[in-house]
């Protein structure tokens, strides 16, 4: 097959997918599926084919498709509450401010981890450090990110085991 044929086939398939997706959305908006003989179906087909250069669409076809788009938009607006973007922005700003004013995480000290572990030689301390701490670019320090039960679970995952040979 020639590249031109393949390109045309791909454009045609893309136009068909767009047409059927549009018709599905329209059918959902009006509550029934238009038939092949309905003017809406013919207009949508003509406009989709005109978009890829396979046909021409009349002004009436374009007006019909425009009305279909409005029906889809009206139905979507009925089903979804419009978002209050200013309220969402205020929420995001409040969250950012709360994070900015939150107490900084405590600085990591290795001796604290060793004291927590009791027998540090029984654990992969570097692996625990990698998982339970993080670098804070604002302060330039390594800080704790895991505490209590979370830290205990991390330590348990990195406990070293030695196996005695069977006798």
The encoded tokens of residue 44 equal 């949508």
| Residue 164 token pair | 């005695």
What was the pLDDT predicted at 164? 63
H or E segment at 161?
A: none
Average pLDDT over residues 112-137: 89
Other Cβ atoms within 10 Å of 11 Cβ, number: 14
- DSSP classification of residue 105: P
Per-residue confidence (pLDDT) for residue 146, from 0 to 100: 87
Give the model's confidence band at 124: pLDDT under 50 very low, under 70 low, under 90 confident, else very high: very high
**What's the pLDDT band for 5 if we cut at 50, 70, 90?**
confident
Query: 161: Cβ–Cβ under 8 A, 6 or more apart, which residues?
Result: none
| Distance, CA of 63 to CA of 42 (rounded, Å) | 12
Tell me the per-residue pLDDT of 150-164, one tens digit each, with 9 for 90 and over.
Answer: 999 999 999 887 666
Confidence (pTM)? 0.44
Tell me the pLDDT tens digit for each residue of 98-119.
766 667 778 888 999 999 998 8
Q: Whole-number mean pLDDT of the chain?
A: 82
Q: How confident is the model at residue 85, as a pLDDT?
A: 64
- Counting residues of the chain whose pLDDT is more than 70, the rounded percentage is 87
Which single residue is written with the structure tokens 């939150």?
A: 102
Backbone φ, ψ for residue 68 (5° rounding): -65, -40
The per-residue pLDDT for range 46-93, each reduced to its tens digit, is: 888 787 777 788 889 889 888 888 888 888 777 666 666 677 777 877
* pLDDT attached to residue 126: 92
Task: Enumerate the H helices of the chain as residue ranges.
Answer: 3-30, 39-51, 59-79, 85-101, 110-117, 125-132, 148-157
- Beta bridge partners, 135, equal 142
User: How high is the pLDDT of residue 10?
Assistant: 77
Nearest partner of 62 among 47, 51, 73, judged by Cα: 47
Instruction: Reply yes or no on whether the pLDDT at 1 is more than 60.
Output: no
For the cut 70, the answer to whether the pLDDT of residue 9 exceeds it is yes
Q: From residue 138, give the alpha-carbon distance in Å to each of 4, 110, 122.
A: 56, 21, 34
Please give the pLDDT value at position 34.
87
């Amino acid at each position: 097959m020639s590249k031109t044929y393949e390109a045309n086939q791909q454009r045609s398939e893309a136009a068909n997918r767009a047409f059927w997706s549009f018709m599905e959305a329209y059918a959902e908006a009006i509550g029934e599926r238009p038939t092949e003989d309905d003017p809406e179906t013919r207009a949508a087909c003509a406009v989709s084919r005109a978009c890829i250069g396979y046909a021409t669409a009349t002004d009436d076809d374009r007006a019909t498709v425009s009305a279909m788009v409005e029906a889809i938009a009206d139905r979507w607006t009925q089903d979804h509450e419009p978002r209050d973007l200013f309220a969402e922005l205020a929420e995001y700003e409040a969250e950012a401010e709360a994070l900015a004013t939150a107490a900084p995480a405590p600085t990591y000290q290795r001796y604290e981890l060793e004291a927590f572990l009791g027998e540090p030689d029984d654990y992969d301390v570097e692996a625990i450090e990698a998982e339970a701490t993080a670098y804070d670019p604002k302060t330039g320090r390594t800080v704790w990110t895991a505490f209590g039960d979370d830290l205990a679970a991390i330590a348990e995952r990195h406990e070293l085991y030695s196996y005695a040979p069977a006798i």
